[in-house]
Amino acid sequence: MSGPPGSLECPVCGLRHLAVGLAPGEKARCTRCETVLARGRRLGPEAPFVFALSGLILAVPACLLPFISAGKFGDQRVSLLFTGVGALWDNGMRALSMLVLFCGGVVPVGLLLALAVLLAPAWRDPSGIRRRELTRLATFLERWSIPEVQVLAVLVALFKLGKLVEVRIGPGFWCYCGMTLLLLLALRGFEISHLPGGKANPAADAPP
């Protein structure tokens, strides 16, 4: 359902807001649920889509290429991204292993995919229903996506293990770091007003 000219509907709660101009970096939030509706542009309107798509591309080598290798006296053991998940499962910590898999792998990739679809310039949804549902899904996944925590955990482990064994960082780790950075950049540029079918002008209520 389309609103009056110069208005924007919050995709989460449905509240309509009046359109106003925003300075670069300034945010407009829904006055009811505080969803970010728009942000003053610093880069081009296609930048968030490029970030999301690039993150999806990097997710493939991040999962397939060697993550880290550790060894001593010539005996090297190569680990992939989710080798630790299998180790946790085999040692009886199955709930923790599923949480690491979910928050460090499944959710970030799912969030990147949702953002790429939402921000795709060629995607059209005249009714707005699918876009609203997908936006709610992306908002939910954002709360559970913590790939930066996994990067920090690996760095801490490398620092501690470096004193005991020879540790080498593999290309999979750098691809995962790149995917994490691109996800954060895509989220920062995720503006409802820049979605296909959205208004060209940012919007915000005029709260008291």
Q: What CATH number does the domain containing 53 carry?
A: 1.20.140
Residue 80: per-residue pLDDT = 81
Residues 30 and 66 in one domain: no
**Domain of residue 119, residue span:** 44-190
Pair (66, 112) in one structural domain? yes
Q: Are residues 90 and 179 in the same domain?
A: yes
CA distance 96 to 102: 10
* Whole-number Å distance between alpha carbons of 56 and 179: 7
Q: Are residues 120 and 165 in the same domain?
A: yes
Structurally, the chain folds into a number of domains equal to 2
Answer whether 201's CB lies under 8 Å from 84's CB. Answer: no
Q: Give yes or no: residues 148 and 199 share one domain.
A: no
Angstrom CA distances, 24 to 19, 41, 112, 152, 202, stand at 16, 5, 24, 31, 11
Residues 126 and 101 in one domain: yes
| Separation CA 145–CA 204 (nearest Å) | 27
pLDDT for 74 equals: 63
| pTM listed for this prediction | 0.66
Residues 136 and 150 in one domain: yes
Beta strands 7-9 and 16-18, pairing class: antiparallel
pLDDT value for 194 = 42
Verify that 3 and 86 share a domain, yes or no.
Answer: no
Same domain (yes/no): 71, 130: yes
Give pLDDT tens digits along the chain (208 positions): 344 445 677 878 888 877 666 666 677 788 888 887 776 666 666 788 899 999 999 999 998 998 888 777 666 777 888 887 887 788 888 888 888 888 888 889 999 998 888 888 766 665 567 777 888 888 888 888 878 777 877 777 777 766 677 778 889 989 999 999 999 888 877 654 444 444 333 333 333 3
Q: What's the token pair of residue 3? A: 């609103």
Q: Residues 55, 149: one domain? A: yes
Question: For residues 77, 92, 85 and 134, what is the CA-based torsion angle, rounded to 10 degrees?
Answer: 180
Q: Please indicate, yes or no, whether residues 182 and 203 belong to a single structural domain of this protein.
A: no
Amino acid (one-letter) located at 121: P
